[in-house]
């Protein structure tokens, strides 16, 4: 009983950060910003994406394919969007590293669902570190599942 409470406790703690991480921001080796948005598209909605940022209280659209919306002129040709597997979109932005403020909020909207993340200019992880972190949390998951399986068999 205590054991399973412990397992559920640990699982709960681990699932919270996983759930809230709909967005990640990292810096690629060539100094491009990579923003991943992993919101699941609702099957009965029009499939659209929109990436923007909020900087000094101004919200500016970086890339979008929502009809009637268009990106801010200064981002034209500087960003691209690709689909992520299994869900979501990845936006890559070049030449704007130095334009980030101390607190830049990135927002994304996929089929009318929103997410946002605030980053500090000097605290952006490199993308290789992020993939290492993700890999690590996966190995934790596997250990945990094995543990779970073990204590219940
Ligand atoms: C937006 O782009 C996605 C992926 O390329 C596409 O599936 C979707 O149909 C596009 N939506 C619109 C409204 O053009
Ligand atoms: C950054 O800005 C966002 C949105 O304005 C705000 O919610 C958040 O508290 C700010 N973070 C810091 C560390 O100032
Ligand atoms: C960012 O996300 C939080 C929590 O989901 C939400 O309360 C807040 O309004 C969002 N901020 C913006 C600027 O959309």
Per residue in 94-149, pLDDT (tens digit) is 998 888 888 899 999 998 899 999 999 888 989 987 776 666 666 667 666 777 67
Mutating to test ligand 2, I would choose from 53, 100, 107, 118 the residue with most ligand atoms within 8 A of its C-beta, which is: 118
What confidence score (pLDDT) does residue 136 get?
65
| Burial zone of 93 (CB within 10 Å; 0-12 exposed, 13-18 middle, 19+ buried) | buried
Q: Is the CB of 70 under 6 A from ligand 2?
A: no
* Interval between CA 75 and ligand 2 midpoint (Å): 23
CATH code for the domain of 86: 2.60.40.10
Per residue in 3-56, pLDDT (tens digit) is 665 555 555 555 444 444 799 999 999 889 999 999 988 888 889 999 999 987
pTM as predicted: 0.76
Q: CB neighbours of 98 closer than 8 A, spacing ≥ 6?
A: none
Q: Is the CB of 116 under 6 A from ligand 3?
A: yes
CA-nearest residue, atom 7 of ligand 1: 47
Domain hosting 145: range is 2-152
Q: Scan for tokens 């970086």, then name that residue.
A: 62
Domains in the chain: how many in total? Answer: 1
Which candidate, 105, 101, 134, places its Cα nearest to that of 35?
105
């Amino acid at each position: 009983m205590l054991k399973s409470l412990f397992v559920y406790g640990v699982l709960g703690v681990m699932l919270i950060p996983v759930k809230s991480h709909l967005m990640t921001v990292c810096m690629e080796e060539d100094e491009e910003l990579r923003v991943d948005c992993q919101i699941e598209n609702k099957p009965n909605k029009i499939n659209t994406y929109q990436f923007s940022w909020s900087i000094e209280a101004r919200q500016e659209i970086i890339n979008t394919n929502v009809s009637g919306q268009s990106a801010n002129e200064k981002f034209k040709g500087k960003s691209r969007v690709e689909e992520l597997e299994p869900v979501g979109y990845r936006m890559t932005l070049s030449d704007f590293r130095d334009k980030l403020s101390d607190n830049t909020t990135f927002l994304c909207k996929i089929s009318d669902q929103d997410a946002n993340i605030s980053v500090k200019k000097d605290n952006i992880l490199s993308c290789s570190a992020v993939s290492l972190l993700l890999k690590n949390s996966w190995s934790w998951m596997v250990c945990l599942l094995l543990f779970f399986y073990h204590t219940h068999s």
